């Protein structure tokens, strides 16, 4: 059972992919500003957050977690939605991978850059494939992702500052 604790974010990520994809199928659309929006659009930000934590556990192998979640969604939810989800996740993963691999910035900055670049792109792809592409839905889904990521970014940035302050304190004590 130790492996469950070691991969808790990856397991939660897979479960959330399946849950949200299933809810996208069964929760009816609502009208906002004469545009049909899924109430689930507001919840997708947490997937981004969990993906970032799962990526810390699995590194580039996080794509396998996405495939597992998408495959289960394909069986339980809706084939078209699972394909849309997988396509959007693959695009987001490629953007994430590029940012995590090629930038030498701190984790908090990589999280922020990744979400800012990939959110509108993968949201548009997902909504286009499920035939719900409209400006308001893209805005809501992208904002939900970015807000979720901003919360994580803020926490990581503060953690990095505390870590740096602790290292500086140790250096000061050692030099005395």
Tens digits of per-residue pLDDT, 40-77?
877 777 777 788 788 888 887 888 998 899 899 889 87
Can you give the pLDDT at residue 170?
A: 65
Contact between residue 82 and residue 126 where contact means Cβ atoms under 8 Å apart: no
Q: What percent of the chain has pLDDT over 90?
A: 11
pLDDT at 167: 66
Average pLDDT over residues 152-164: 76
Question: Scanning the structure block, which residue is given the tokens 């509108």?
Answer: 120
146 phi, psi to nearest 5 deg: -65, -40
134 pLDDT higher than 70: yes
Spatial neighbors of 21 by CB under 8 A, at least 6 apart, are 69, 70, 73, 76, 77, 78, 81, 82, 85
Please state the pTM of the whole predicted model. Answer: 0.72
Q: How many residues does the chain have?
A: 176
3-state DSSP: the chain helix, strand, coil percent, rounded to 5? Answer: 85, 5, 10
Domain positions in the chain? 2-175
For 76-124, how does the pLDDT look when each residue is reduced to its tens digit (9 = 90+)?
Answer: 878 888 898 889 878 887 887 788 778 878 777 777 788 788 889 988 9
Pick the CATH number of 2-175 from 1.10.600, 1.10.1760, 2.60.40, 1.10.3470: 1.10.1760
| Separation between Cα atoms, residue 51 and residue 100, nearest integer Å | 13
Query: Considering only 110-114, 135-139, 143-147, 165-169, which range has the smallest mean pLDDT?
Result: 165-169
The rounded distance, in Å, linking the Cα atoms of 85 and 5 is 26
Closest of 6, 42, 58 to residue 139, by C-alpha = 42
Is the pLDDT reported for residue 26 higher than 90?
no
- State yes or no: pLDDT of 173 exceeds 70: no
């Amino acid at each position: 059972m130790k492996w469950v604790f070691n991969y808790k974010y990856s397991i939660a990520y897979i479960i959330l992919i399946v849950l949200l994809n299933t809810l996208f199928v069964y929760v009816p659309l609502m009208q906002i500003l004469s545009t049909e929006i899924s109430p689930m659009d507001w919840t997708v930000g947490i997937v981004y957050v969990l993906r970032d934590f799962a990526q810390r556990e699995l590194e580039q192998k996080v794509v396998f977690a996405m495939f597992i979640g998408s495959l289960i969604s394909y069986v339980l939810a809706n084939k078209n939605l699972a394909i849309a989800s997988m396509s959007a996740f693959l695009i987001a993963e490629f953007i994430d991978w590029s940012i995590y691999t090629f930038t030498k910035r701190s984790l908090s900055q990589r999280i922020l850059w990744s979400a800012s670049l990939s959110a509108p792109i993968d949201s548009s792809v997902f909504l286009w494939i499920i035939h719900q592409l409209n400006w308001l839905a893209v805005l809501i889904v992208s904002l939900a992702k970015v807000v979720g990521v901003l919360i994580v970014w803020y926490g990581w940035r503060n953690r990095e500052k505390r870590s740096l302050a602790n290292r500086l304190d140790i250096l000061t004590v050692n030099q005395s």
